[in-house]
């Protein structure tokens, strides 16, 4: 009796364990099915994972985060990444950047292409919806460099605040990228040696060099300051839009000058020019002065000659001077 009871009890125990195990397996299978169907990975979760795993410069990371945040709001809160279609992306891009310059469109497209390629590698999507986004052709622009005479007038304008004069001159003399120079902190600047440390592409620390005019402007702009961003906004930020601590000056509580505001001011003062044209102008002027390509690459910090070629083109004034100098009818000096 006891033996039978014991055997029966053992069978009941095994059966109970089997039921529990079956339920556990069913739960795991159910979760795996949901993952296989990509139901558990939202656009927001995928974006956070993408940004966390990629080695991006701070400026690039901010721009990618902004673009992916806009995408998440466009498709809806909690949307599964696998349910985002090519049509969704086309609507998103055209709704935001239909009228933008081709280069701007292509930068946003590159962000989405990189993001969805990452999602595909994680097996969160079967097909890449970003393939539906066409790359726009960027037309060659032979007039990007600002003529030297126009720059000379810009440098001597008395109605331009010191902050702007310093930024513009520094951009030209370093041939630096605008976001790199705007992200400078006071302790990145070495005034005696006319140089500064910037965070370049890929997050690398790189040296840029400037001349006497920038050094004089910087000495006045930074007088009495030992830390914080070099270029500060005019007003303190609103409490609801508090920036990161590293972007705030401890003495004045003012935040770092934004790229958007800096670009707006330059465009207004220069009658439509862009901040990037200062870098372009610097390299064009150096090329016109017969500076060698290796030195131009060192100055611009380009990784390839092909990337540098579109900058290292003498402007129309240099070509006009060359043509005049070799004119057979030109009166020769005696």
Say yes or no: 182 and 115 in one domain. no
Which residue blocks in the chain are alpha helix, DSSP H? 2-36, 43-53, 58-75, 86-97, 102-121, 148-155, 162-174, 178-182, 212-221, 259-269, 276-288, 293-300, 305-309, 316-325
Say yes or no: 128 and 178 in one domain. no
Say yes or no: 217 and 102 in one domain. no
Say yes or no: 153 and 90 in one domain. no
Beta strands 189-190 and 205-209 are unpaired
Q: Between these two residues, 321 and 111, which has the higher pLDDT value? A: 111
pTM for the whole structure: 0.59
Percent of the chain residues topping a pLDDT of 70: 83
- Is residue 309 one of the residues assigned to a domain? yes
pLDDT at 25: 46
pLDDT at 222: 94
**Domain boundary residue, one of 102, 132, 162:** 132
**Domain boundary residue, one of 71, 99, 132:** 132
pLDDT at 154: 93
The first and second tokens of residue 232, run together, are 């500060």
* Backbone φ, ψ for residue 255 (5° rounding): -90, 170
- Is residue 284 one of the residues assigned to a domain? yes
Say yes or no: 286 and 311 in one domain. yes
Say yes or no: 171 and 241 in one domain. yes
Q: How far apart are CA 174 and CA 207, in angstroms?
A: 9
CA angle 57, 62, 65 (to 5 degrees): 120
Say if residues 195 and 215 touch (Cβ distance below 8 Å): no
pLDDT at 251: 84
pLDDT at 240: 67
pLDDT band per the 50, 70, 90 thresholds, residue 313: low
Q: How far apart are CA 190 and CA 198, in angstroms?
A: 12
Give 34-93 pLDDT, tens digit per residue: 444 445 799 999 999 999 987 777 778 888 999 999 999 999 988 999 999 999 999 999
Say yes or no: 94 and 194 in one domain. no
pLDDT band per the 50, 70, 90 thresholds, residue 18: low
User: How many domains are there within the chain?
Assistant: 2
Q: Which domain holds residue 294?
A: 148-322
- Region 96-105: mean pLDDT is 88
**Domain boundary residue, one of 99, 132, 165:** 132
pLDDT at 15: 52
Q: What is the CA radius of gyration of the chain?
A: 29
Residue 182 scores a pLDDT above 50: yes
- Is residue 7 one of the residues assigned to a domain? no
pLDDT at 17: 56
Say yes or no: 98 and 203 in one domain. no
- Is residue 27 one of the residues assigned to a domain? no
- Which SS3 state, helix, strand or coil, does residue 208 take? strand
- Is residue 15 one of the residues assigned to a domain? no
* Backbone φ, ψ for residue 315 (5° rounding): -75, 180
- Here the CATH number for the domain that contains residue 158 is 1.10.443.10
Kindly state the helix (H) or strand (E) to which residue 197 belongs, with its residue range. Answer: strand 195-199
Say yes or no: 257 and 164 in one domain. yes
Say yes or no: 74 and 176 in one domain. no
Percent of the chain residues topping a pLDDT of 90: 52
- Here the CATH number for the domain that contains residue 59 is 1.10.150.130
Give 154-176 pLDDT, tens digit per residue: 999 999 999 999 999 999 999 99
- Is residue 94 one of the residues assigned to a domain? yes
- Is residue 8 one of the residues assigned to a domain? no
Nearest residue to 172 (alpha-carbon basis) of 275, 279, 68: 279
pLDDT at 194: 96
Catalogue the long-range contacts made by 219-228 (C-beta closer than 8 Å, 24 or more residues apart).
219/191, 220/162, 220/166, 221/162, 221/163, 221/166, 222/186, 222/189, 225/186, 225/249, 225/251, 226/186, 226/187, 227/185, 227/186, 227/187, 228/185, 228/186
Say yes or no: 217 and 267 in one domain. yes
- Is residue 334 one of the residues assigned to a domain? no
Give 214-271 pLDDT, tens digit per residue: 999 999 999 989 899 999 999 888 776 777 888 888 888 899 999 999 999 999 999 9
pLDDT at 38: 43
Cβ neighbours, 10 Å, residue 199: 17
Say yes or no: 128 and 172 in one domain. no
The answer to which of 197-211, 284-298, 306-320 has the lowest mean pLDDT is 306-320
């Amino acid at each position: 009796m006891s033996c039978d009871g014991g055997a029966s009890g053992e069978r009941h125990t095994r059966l109970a364990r089997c039921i529990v195990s079956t339920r556990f397996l069913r739960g795991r299978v159910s979760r795996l099915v949901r993952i296989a169907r990509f139901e558990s990975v939202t656009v927001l979760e995928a974006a956070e994972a993408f940004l966390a795993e990629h080695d991006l410069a701070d400026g690039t990371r901010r721009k990618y985060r902004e673009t992916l945040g806009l995408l998440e709001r466009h498709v809806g809160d909690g949307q599964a990444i696998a349910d985002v279609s090519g049509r969704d992306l086309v609507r998103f891009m055209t709704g935001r950047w239909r009228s933008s310059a081709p280069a701007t469109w292509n930068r946003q497209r590159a962000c989405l292409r990189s993001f969805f390629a990452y999602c595909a590698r994680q097996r969160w999507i079967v097909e890449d919806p970003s393939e539906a986004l066409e790359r726009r052709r960027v037309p060659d622009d032979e007039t990007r460099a600002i003529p030297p005479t126009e720059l000379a007038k810009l440098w001597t304008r008395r109605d331009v605040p010191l902050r702007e004069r310093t930024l513009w001159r520094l951009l030209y003399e370093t041939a630096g990228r605008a976001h790199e120079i705007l992200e400078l902190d006071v302790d990145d600047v070495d005034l005696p040696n006319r140089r500064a440390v910037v965070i370049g592409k890929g997050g690398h620390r790189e040296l840029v060099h400037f001349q006497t005019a920038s050094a004089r402007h910087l000495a006045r702009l930074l007088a009495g300051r030992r830390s914080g961003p070099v270029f500060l906004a005019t007003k303190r930020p609103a409490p609801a839009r508090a920036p990161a601590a590293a972007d705030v000056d401890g003495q004045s509580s003012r935040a770092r000058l934004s790229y958007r505001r800096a670009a707006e001011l330059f465009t207004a003062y220069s009658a439509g020019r862009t901040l990037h044209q200062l870098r372009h102008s610097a390299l064009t002027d150096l090329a016109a002065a017969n500076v060698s390509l290796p030195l131009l690459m060192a100055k611009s910090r380009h990784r390839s000659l092909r990337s540098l070629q579109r900058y290292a083109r003498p402007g129309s004034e240099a070509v006009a001077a060359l043509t005049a100098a070799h004119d057979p009818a030109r009166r020769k000096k005696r």
